[in-house]
Amino acid sequence: MNRIEITELSNGIRIVSENIPYVKSFSLGFWFDVGSRDEIQKNNGISHFLEHMFFKGTEKRSAKRLSDDIESLGGYLNAFTSKEQTCFYGRGLEPHLEKTFSVLSDMIQNSVFKENEVKKEAQVVIDELYDIEDSPEELIFDKFETSIFSGNSLSYPIIGTEKNLQNFKRNDLIEFVKSNYGFNNFYIVASGAIDHKKLLKLADKYITKDLGITKKKRDTFKKETIKNSFVYKEIQQAHLIMGRTTYGYNSKRRTELSVLGQILGEGSSSRLFQSVRERNGIAYQINSFLNSFYDVSTFGIYYSTNDKNVEKAQNLILNELTKLKNKKVSDRELKRAKEYLKGSILMSLESTTNRMLRIAQSYIYFNKIKSVEETIEEINSVTKEKILELSNELFDESKFSKSIISSKNLLLHSAA
């Protein structure tokens, strides 16, 4: 049986591990509860830029050696930045846990941020920004959240702006790390062939620098902005989002949102896919989405279609929303949505990396490890009545923000 253990060290670091006795590998994550939500306009993009710069060499290891030390043992090293967290993680076989731990520890404590590397990497991240600009299906989500979270730091894109990236200096990085990467928002999380006591010993051996305590405080999200945005691009298809803000991780109703999203537009058996794509053949991409943060989520519908079909697609979508507001879903449809959600969760747990991610986010957001059984119980408890109530609460088109990327100045208006 898998065993999860949690220890808080005297310096404030939380160490969480899950031992899986039947696997030979591990996933180890060093998490900081810091992301683009903790930035200001002037330094927007610095969390993601730092994620890159931590791989550019330490006092003891060059950038090449950081990856060689892991890859030469058949392991894997990577990182990601979100609006609320940054995670550096490694995967490897059981005998190589110490080496992986030492490399991650070295990166987060001893990175040198050489000025010439800062300039070089800025250009790499600007290229990444251009890639997003060239991908309307990615760019539209940034534009949508910039509009809907207007006035809150959640509106800042994770990648930042070209101007900021060009202007970052070594000292900016050092100061941001000092202010935001402290013991009190640092989590070491592992899943797989892991011995918890060994993790504690490794932390004692390799975490030797005083990272201090951060005093940052996030502004809670207070009020959604109902705002439309349009981006002109020479592209063949129009890309559109309509949606609004709703319950975040701190609400028990988020599970109801997941089930509703499944019914509405996730998977090829969903209502939107069947109506817009299968029966009418007017959109290749159409899905609902739920993008969650601690105190708020965005719930919306994304689709791409030919310019001349935009209005027809919108009316078909609004028709499906009206149906959900007017009539309870069937027992069969509700059961199918629940089974799909539960299946997705359970199948994802076959990966130690997914397990590590799930454990970390559960602990960071809820200060406890939500068991899979607890999550499944929450899904099972969603009723037809709750779906109807939530649909009526959410699907008020006058409260939707709408974003569009197109080569034509299309206006999304309210359907009669």
Give the total residue count for the chain.
416
Confidence at residue 415, expressed as pLDDT on a 0 to 100 scale: 35
Q: Give the separation between CA 169 and CA 205, rounded to whole angstroms.
A: 32
Confidence at residue 216, expressed as pLDDT on a 0 to 100 scale: 78
> Distance of CA 221 to CAs 37, 181, 225, Å?
11, 22, 11
pTM: 0.94
Q: What is the pLDDT of residues 57-114, one digit of tens each?
A: 999 999 999 999 999 999 999 999 999 999 999 999 999 999 999 999 999 999 999 9
Q: How far apart are the first and last CA of the chain?
A: 57
What domains can you pick out in the chain, each with its CATH number?
Answer: 3-206 (3.30.830.10), 229-406 (3.30.830.10)
Q: Give the separation between CA 302 and CA 196, rounded to whole angstroms.
A: 43
Q: What is the pLDDT of residues 138-163, one digit of tens each?
A: 999 999 999 999 999 999 999 999 99
Confidence at residue 225, expressed as pLDDT on a 0 to 100 scale: 77
State percent of the chain over pLDDT 70: 98
Q: Give the separation between CA 174 and CA 50, rounded to whole angstroms.
A: 9
Q: What is the pLDDT of residues 313-370, one digit of tens each?
A: 999 999 999 999 999 999 999 999 999 999 999 999 999 999 999 999 999 999 999 9
Q: What is the pLDDT of residues 179-193, one digit of tens each?
A: 999 999 999 999 999
Determine whether 115 is an active site residue: no
Give the tokens for residue 193.
Answer: 């062939």
* Chain mean position to CA 148: 17
Q: What is the pLDDT of residues 32-42, one digit of tens each?
A: 999 999 999 99
Judge contact between 356 and 187, C-beta under 8 A: no
Decide if pLDDT at 56 tops 90.
Answer: yes
User: Which is catalytic among the residues 18, 39, 51, 224?
Assistant: 51
